[in-house]
Structure 1
Amino acid sequence: MATDERLRDHLNDALFDAILLLQDREECYRFFEDIATIAEIKALAQRLEVAKLLRENVTYAEIAEHTGASTATISRVKRCLYFGADGYQLILDRLAEREEKEVP
């Protein structure tokens, strides 16, 4: 599915281009700490973990307990996971591929 055209503009293009220039995890920490609050960064990380667990068919209750996410957040992530722009699927597939390569 295509991304929402309302998201596309020169400011977001510049932001995403900047993110693509980051070379390692430490640079990500430094940049994101400056550009977002700790709570915002943790919320993004939480949503990614929720998506991973949903894809593994973990129950809402277990996800809420494991991540601290509300059922509203879990529901929103699930909607995006299955009816969104396929961004979660894309990154979760890539993360799974990387994990498979790292396992001897």
Structure 2
Amino acid sequence: MQIDKIRGEQTNQLFKAMLELKDLDECYEFFDDLCTISEIQSLGQRLEVAQMLKLKNTYDTIQHETGASTATISRIRRCVDYGSGGYNKILGRLYPEIKEVVDKK
């Protein structure tokens, strides 16, 4: 399982720290210190791509709207379809209406 490849004390510390964040301002402060602007933007882009894939957007549309490469979109597609379930879980919590929209298409 892919999760086992990232599991470790440093990763545990990172994830525990993230779980301690109280609001968006704390997230901005922590990630500003932790990551480069480019890394943060890349993570945000990946989540947006996953959301657009769940809404059945085409690769062309996703590439045009997000600037993500087709390789990035393909990798995220594999994770959404066959990954650990993380994208689907968090998107379902952030946007409960996605399942309803996807079911209607």
TM more than 0.5: yes
1:14 to partner: Cα distance:
0.5
Separation of aligned partners in 1, 2:36 and 2:83: 25
Q: How large is the RMSD of aligned CA atoms in angstroms?
A: 1.5
Cα distance between partner residues in 1 of 2:55 and 2:26:
30
Deviation, 1:6, is 1.4
1:16-35 to structure 2, matched below 5 A, reads 16-35=15-34
Q: Which moved more, 1:36-45 or 1:89-98?
A: 89-98
Aligned ranges for residues 1-104 of structure 1 at < 5 Å?
4-97=3-96
- Number of residue pairs matched by the alignment: 98
Q: TM-score with structure 1 length normalisation?
A: 0.90
Displacement of 1:54 in angstroms is 0.3
Q: 1:37 deviation in Å?
A: 0.3
Q: TM-score when scaled to structure 2?
A: 0.89
TM superposition outliers: structure 1 runs of 4+ over 4 Å: none
**Aligned sequence identity (%):** 48
Give the drift of 1:96: 1.4
Q: Relative contact order, CA 8 A, sep 6+: which one is greater?
A: 1
Gaps of at least 5 residues in structure 1 are 100-104
Q: Secondary structure at the match of 2:22?
A: coil
Tell me how far 1:87 sits from its aligned partner.
Answer: 0.2
